[in-house]
Chain A
């Protein structure tokens, strides 16, 4: 189900924990699985459960609890913008407006061409560098002026 490369990465994570605590690697295993598949279908989660020797429901619990797992397919680029209070005081709400206008979608929507999904994020721990956003969870962009947002969208199109 998961590629040999993903399984090798998961093995690296399992090695961080005591031999009888494989379950500790479930968060990273799901991250690795999501990176490979784009999102976590039940089938993918079942594969992770089997690999770690966990009941599938214990894996679903984890996947549904943490907000950065995609439980549905997203656009090719998931853009998550922090709109918390400190960021909001430093222009992230204007940045949200700009992005919504530019992409023609609201939060939790995907563009018709399947290119972009827009999400509202909670604190990313980079408040002083607002506006801050994540592309596909792993790449942070900070100090996002309208010009930088335009450039980012252009680069990803």
Chain B
């Protein structure tokens, strides 16, 4: 049996093999859909209950799901779409892969219910290209649902029609941004669109579209079965339900853990086996690599919910908790993060296209002992000139780590510049900043 923790509801009763339709039905699967269609529940009432549940987007932004669904013009004639964002590529995040591998029908049922609530005609699940085996498995799950009459025309004899398809990405982080994802679905480069218009009025093929994260959809059947109030009661006001956290880095048992929102970070760390080798905690990025880093003492008194983490100075994001111990060189860690955003910038907006490379090159030269004291102000300045000046949030995502690393661990950067080596003594983690980074000539880095 897979163990995601005692509070799990989405990942409860999974053993890694029981992902098939019959297994899911034995776990009350598709009961929510049967109830909605059988009782002809009013979609507005369904959306209102979802609002009550305080389910918030699990992909990163934390936007209230019920409110998002209410933006869809249900009366609009013609095609309307529901899209699932399974393009999980935020460094540190690996929860959607587990959901899709072990409980794919929960996502499918959630999407069918979303289609019913918003009068959508079809749905697409956009799956990260790197998890190809999961994509193929999802196709099998879809075939099962179709054969059982949960998808297609006149679902369960209700007169409701909904089709659902899987679409594979092929290696572009930016497609996790919802409008870039839509362009990618349309067979183009995945570059974010200007908003407004928002997808609810102009989405896939120009039709009203709602995009939610995999985990968000997976939570919907539970809410329909147990009520929005029950889901809300699991978490905290404005932070309903449980959340999957991917705990990575220097912990004894890296993995996914499902806990009630509001669970103290210390408890989550304990579930992940505590610090590997009994070392001391130094820093945590609590919501995926795009979110600000927090020092150990702040983190140890923070609870894991949207509002508490925001109050502590970061964001819950996708729930990717990257844990770093006392051996971690923060300059190296930032160098690797900065490289990621440089590599993944789609190139559409100048501040991001040029700025992410600039940030990487400056951090790279500090790490390699060629930094200058004025580089610290330069990093801040470049970061400030990216954040808020781009079409999508990737610019902010590249800038926030830089700002927060400098804010909380400035002394390490200063030490690197003054002494051309790391403040951390002994074994240093990660062993080098970016694999192959030594190939970059320092001169080039300037």
A interface vs B, CB < 8 Å? 16-18, 21, 23-28, 30-31, 52, 54, 58, 61-62, 65-69, 81, 83-86, 88-90, 92-94, 96-97, 106-107, 120-130, 134, 137-140
A64 to nearest B CB, angstroms?
8
The answer to whether B436 touches A89 (Cβ under 8 A) is no
Q: Is the CB of B97 within 8 A of A126?
A: yes
| Chain B residues within 8 Å of A68, by CB | 129-130, 170-171
Asked whether B130 lies within 8 Å of A140 as measured between CB atoms, the reply is: yes
Map CB proximity to A onto B90-129 as digits: 1 under 8 Å, 0 otherwise: 1111101100000000000000000000000000100011
When the two chains form their complex, are residues A127 and B132 in contact, meaning their CB atoms are under 8 A apart?
no
**B interface with A by C-beta (< 8 Å):** 79, 88-94, 96-97, 124, 128-133, 165-173, 184-190, 205, 246-250, 254-256, 289, 320, 322-324, 328, 333, 336-337, 340, 343-344, 346, 429-432, 434-436, 439
> In the docked arrangement, what's the CA distance between A120 and B172, Å?
14
B439: A residues at CB distance < 8 A? 106
Cα–Cα distance between A26 and B183 once the two chains are bound (Å): 12
Provide a sorted-by-A list of 21 A–B residue pairs whose CB atoms are within 8 angstroms: A18-B205, A23-B188, A24-B167, A24-B186, A24-B187, A27-B168, A31-B168, A62-B189, A83-B435, A86-B320, A88-B336, A89-B430, A96-B436, A121-B130, A122-B173, A123-B93, A128-B254, A129-B254, A137-B130, A137-B170, A140-B130
- The smallest beta-carbon distance between A82 and chain B, in angstroms, is 8
What B residues does A18 contact at CB under 8 A? Answer: 79, 205
**Contact A122/B340 with A127-B248, A127-B320 known, Cβ cut-off 8 Å:** yes
15 other contacts beyond A86-B92, A138-B133, with CB at 8 A cut-off? A27-B170, A28-B168, A30-B170, A65-B189, A65-B346, A84-B336, A85-B336, A86-B322, A89-B323, A90-B249, A97-B435, A123-B173, A125-B88, A126-B97, A126-B130
8 Å CB contact of A138 from B132, B166, B186, B255: B132
Q: Which chain B residue lies CB-closest to A136?
A: B132
Q: Are B91 and A84 in contact (CB under 8 A)?
A: yes
Q: Residue on A with the closest CB to B92?
A: A86
Complex interface: chain A residues within 8 A of B185 (CB): 24
Q: Which of A18, A31, A66, A89 has the most CB of B within 10 A?
A: A89
Q: Of B88, B91, B343, which is within 8 A of A85 by CB?
A: B91
CA distance A122 to B94 in the complex (A): 13
A130 touches which one: B248, B337, B432 (CB < 8 A)? B248
A31 vs B132: C-alpha distance when bound (angstroms)? 11
Q: Select one of A26, A85, A128, A134 contacting B256, CB under 8 A.
A: A128
- Chain B residue with Cβ nearest A69: B170
Q: Which residues of B are found within 8 Å of A96, using beta-carbon distances?
A: 435-436
CA distance A18 to B254 in the complex (A): 42
CB distance from A10 to the nearest CB of B (A): 12
Q: When the two chains form their complex, are residues B89 and A123 in contact, meaning their CB atoms are under 8 A apart?
A: yes
Task: Take A93-B435, A124-B130, A127-B93 as given contacts and tell me if A27 and B167 are in contact as well, using a CB distance cutoff of 8 Å.
Answer: yes
- In the bound complex, what is the Cα–Cα distance between A130 and B336 (angstroms)? 16
Q: Is the CB of A122 within 8 A of B344?
A: yes
Most A-side CB within 10 Å, residue of B88, B94, B165: B94
Q: Which of A28, A86, A134 contacts B130 (CB 8 A)?
A: A134
Contacts of B255 in A (CB 8 A): 128
**Among A21, A24, A26, A125, which residue has its beta carbon within 8 angstroms of that of B93?**
A125
**Is B328 within 8 A of A127, CB to CB?**
no
Complex interface: chain B residues within 8 A of A67 (CB): 170-172
Contacts A86-B249, A89-B248, A140-B133: A125 and B89 contacting too (C-beta < 8 A)?
yes
Task: Decide if B167 touches A85 in the complex (CB within 8 Å).
Answer: no
Contact A129 B94, CB 8 Å, known A90-B249, A107-B435, A123-B89: yes
Candidates A125, A134, A138; contact of B97 at CB < 8 Å: A125
Identify the closest chain A residue to B135 (Cβ): A138
In the complex the two chains form, what is the Cα distance from A27 to B94 in whole Å? 23
Q: Select A90's contact among B130, B248, B343, beta carbons within 8 Å.
A: B248
Cβ distance B255 to chain A, nearest Cβ, rounded Å: 5
A120 CB, min distance to chain B CBs, angstroms: 6
Alpha-carbon gap, A155 to B97, bound state (A) = 26
Is B249 a contact of A89 with CB atoms below 8 Å?
yes
User: Separation in Å of the A34 CB from the closest CB of chain B?
Assistant: 9
A85 contacts B340, C-beta separation under 8 Å: yes
Given contacts A120-B436, A140-B133, contact A128 B340 (CB under 8 A): no
